[in-house]
Amino acid sequence: MKKYIIVLCCLVFSLSTMAQKLEQGSLALLNNVGKANFQIEFLSIHGMTENDFSKYEADWETDKLTVVAIFTDYANRKLKGKLLLGNFPKEKYTVKAIVNEINQKGNYDCDIVVLGSNKQVIAKITGVRAKGGVWGTKLNLIKDGAENTGKKFGEILKSELAKSKK
């Protein structure tokens, strides 16, 4: 009986990690674009707003730049040239990571939103989740989570871009 419960728990956990879903629109407009502006918005870090977290963690404004760079770098690695994300404010499209939560372990829960030039939502993918770190400081766990979430983010974008070509 214990084996069945363990197998069932593993199945439930594995399904929950694959729960990302294209909620709205399509990424077809991003095919053959080459590059897109990238933004990230942190709604909750360790149960605090980003503003409150920056008061609690004095170096956050500096550390945030590193976290965003890690996230973007790993997303771009997984995209493998299908789309380049970066600080390109003049580009027609913006890909935005909305980080709903970073918990104490550095696990991320975020959504992907693709915006057009006049900030209209073109596509939205919800439920992008990835694990943080195993040990270390709060910042190290957040950085580990940025790496893993960036990878997941890039994989999902690449997959959705491929689906939209069909």
Residue 138, number of CB atoms within 10 A of its CB: 20
3-state SS, 70-120, equals HHHHHHHHHHCCCCEEECCCCCCCEEEEEEEEECCCCCEEEEEEEECCCCC
In angstroms, the CA 158 to CA 139 distance is: 28
Q: Supply the pLDDT for residue 18.
A: 52
Nearest to 30 by CA among 100, 109, 117, 130: 117
Task: Give me the sign of the Cα torsion angle 26, 27, 30, 31.
Answer: negative
Q: What is the pLDDT of residue 156?
A: 93
Q: Which domain range does residue 31 map to?
A: 20-165
Please count the structural domains in the chain.
Answer: 1
Question: Residue 28's pLDDT is what?
Answer: 84
Over residues 78-123, the pLDDT tens digits come to 999 999 999 999 999 999 999 999 999 999 999 999 999 889 999 9
- Residue 25, pLDDT score: 80
Residue 29 located in a structural domain = yes
pLDDT tens digits along 16-58:
445 677 777 888 888 888 999 999 999 999 999 999 999 999 8
- Is residue 44 in a domain? yes
Is residue 9 in some structural domain? no
Predicted model pTM: 0.83
